[in-house]
A and B are shown apart, each in its own frame.
Chain A
């Protein structure tokens, strides 16, 4: 009879074992903030549909200190999420090959960022013009 007795190590708490996993878990959990912010905006939209009073109430609520603190938290979490999301770009996209050479990951991440920043600026510009 075989004397083999393979030992399987437990997986419990695996994500604490390596800083890389911790970063991954933080990235994943910041997705909750993205969701929370989306819900906040969605509520605003619903309020808008319910008439002027409702909309104004929502706007007031947004100005409360609690809401401002929450939004600052959203900002930080979502910025982190975006940062790590861009970092995953080279992992998830088909490699881009230029002249028989794979584009360096830094270039891929960089172009992602550039596109995002440009889009944000354009949006800001539009909002600016509408507001003006």
Chain B
């Protein structure tokens, strides 16, 4: 019987049954008493099936109930539990302590966001960006419920489906230096969502969304670092959405000269 351990890291016979101790260094910040964040180290007993999130929960349950972080689903779908783990943005529920042992592991709140407390960051800016891109179907051809569903061929479906997979975990924002340098930049995930609706055969809102794409907060903030797509846990490739929209925005700009009605149709 195969023990539930990732192939590459399987060690020993029953790796799940041995308890080991790993050091977890957490960047802590208590706004009501600290001037700036500082690190604290905890020694956490773990088994090979334990995620980094479970490690952090262990600290909260057993050492210090004031340790603060977001989590819910434990299965990499709710997007709550992003953290910088050894400097890399990751979902802590699908990162495993065994992959870092025997080294110390460092955990910090997601980069490029203000820290509210410990591992919790301020997401209000991100949410405003999501709201700004008109993330809903603006029907190309309105249809009543009696007429049933829209028909969508496999080709039409494949145009946008990849960009629907975003779980809003904001790892890509933590990966993007341009977001850090200019917090107003609309950023990868929001742009991927915008692109998702633009590419949907049911939608006719591309022209309405174009203003934002080409605006000062828009795609031209991107210098094609590409790390956003690298860290995305859901293979959304948000960097691609941003860069394809650079092309779209440029096309739209030139088409505006040629046709009095404007481009992007």
Contact = CB atoms under 8 A, between A and B. Distances in A.
A–B touching in complex (CB under 8 Å): yes
Contacts of A7: 29, 31, 36-37, 114-115
Contact of B111 (A9, A90, A93, A94): A9
A21 B177 contact: yes
Contacts of B226: 24, 88, 91
Contacts of B230: 20
Bin the interface of chain A by size. Answer: 20 to 34
Contacts of B32: 3, 5
A21 B247 CA distance: 24
Interface in A81-104: 88, 90-95, 97, 100-102
A109 B38 CA distance: 43
Contacts of A6: 31, 114-116, 122
B184 to A, nearest CB: 14
B42 interface: no
Interface stretch (A11-19, A36-44, A47-55, A72-80): A11-19
Nearest to B122: A6
Interface string B9-31: 00000000000000000000101
B54 interface: no
Interface in B156-186: 157-159, 162, 177, 180-181
Interface of B: 29, 31-32, 36-37, 87-88, 111, 114-116, 122, 154-155, 157-159, 162, 177, 180-181, 223-227, 229-230, 237, 239-240, 243-244, 246-247
Most buried by B among A11, A28, A90, A94: A94
B88 A94 contact: no
A115 interface: no
A16 to B, nearest CB: 11
Nearest to A3: B32
Name the residue in A9, A17, A18 with the highest tally of chain B Cβ atoms < 10 Å from its Cβ: A9
A95 B177 CA distance: 24
A11 B180 contact: yes
B29 A21 contact: no
B240 A90 contact: yes
Given A7-B36, A24-B227, A97-B159, 10 more contacts: A8-B114, A17-B87, A20-B230, A91-B243, A92-B224, A92-B246, A94-B240, A94-B244, A94-B247, A102-B162
A18 B87 contact: yes
A101 B229 CA distance: 18
Contacts of B122: 6
A63 interface: no
A4 interface: yes
Contacts of A5: 31-32
Contact of B227 (A9, A11, A18, A93): A18
The 6 closest A-B pairs by CB, nearest first: A6-B114, A5-B31, A92-B243, A7-B115, A100-B158, A100-B154
B88 A18 contact: yes
A91 B227 contact: no
A4 B157 CA distance: 44
A91 B225 CA distance: 9
7 contacts: A7-B29, A9-B111, A11-B181, A14-B177, A21-B225, A90-B240, A91-B229
A20 B158 contact: no
Contacts of A28: 223
